[in-house]
Amino acid sequence: MLIAILSDTHSRLATIEAAVAKLRERGVSTVIHCGDIEDPEAIEPFAGLETHFVFGNCDANHAALRRAITRAGQTLHEPFGHLEIEGAKLAFLHGDDAKLMRDVENSGHFDYLFYGHTHVATERLSGSTRVINPGALHRAKPKTFLLLDPATGATESVVVD
């Protein structure tokens, strides 16, 4: 099973659609979105996928985004999300709240912490937690998202044209 982790889509519908097409080609059915969605229309391309969202600092209209996420049958996690998939404990947030990020990172409860906000793909180890930014689908060169196989821990950065 592959999970897609992406962030900072900033309502760029053409880029979102290109990314979703790539993850559908790979057989991905679960998506984690680390925030900065911006507009309710940016939820629609994720239809048919199990998608987990958190808000970012550019997600000003929380009420409209909540309605769109609920209407699409997706899940919103506040202020951060956590899932266990195939034995892997995953946490995700946007990354603009430094205290929240530090607290989740240092909790010792998660195998992975995914975040966005910086628009820069990075990975580091913090204790036993892999802290990963998948990159961004807006204002990034290249535009990237991440695929994770939670059973093996293998990751792949995927470039979106």
Per-residue pLDDT reduced to its tens digit, 7-27: 999 999 999 999 999 999 999
Whole-number Å distance between alpha carbons of 131 and 144:
16
Domain ranges of the chain: 3-160
Burial of 148 (0-12, 13-18, 19+ CB in 10 A): buried
Q: Over the range 13-33, which residues count as b (16 or more CB within 10 Å of their CB) and which as e?
A: eebbeebbebbeeeebebbbb
Q: How many CB atoms lie within 10 A of CB 42?
A: 22
Token pair in block for residue 36: 């900065």
Question: Structure tokens of 41?
Answer: 């229309």
Which CATH number, 3.60.21.10, 1.10.1060.10, 3.40.50.150, 3.30.390.30, labels domain 3-160?
3.60.21.10
pLDDT of residue 30: 98
Report which secondary-structure segment, H or E, holds 126: strand 122-126
Average pLDDT along the chain: 97
Is the pTM higher than 0.85?
yes
In which band, very low, low, confident or very high, does the pLDDT at 37 lie, cut at 50, 70 and 90? very high
- CA dist 55 and 74 (Å) reads 13
Q: What is the pLDDT of residues 42-76, one digit of tens each?
A: 999 999 999 999 999 999 999 999 999 999 999 99
Contact 15, 160 (CB under 8 A): yes
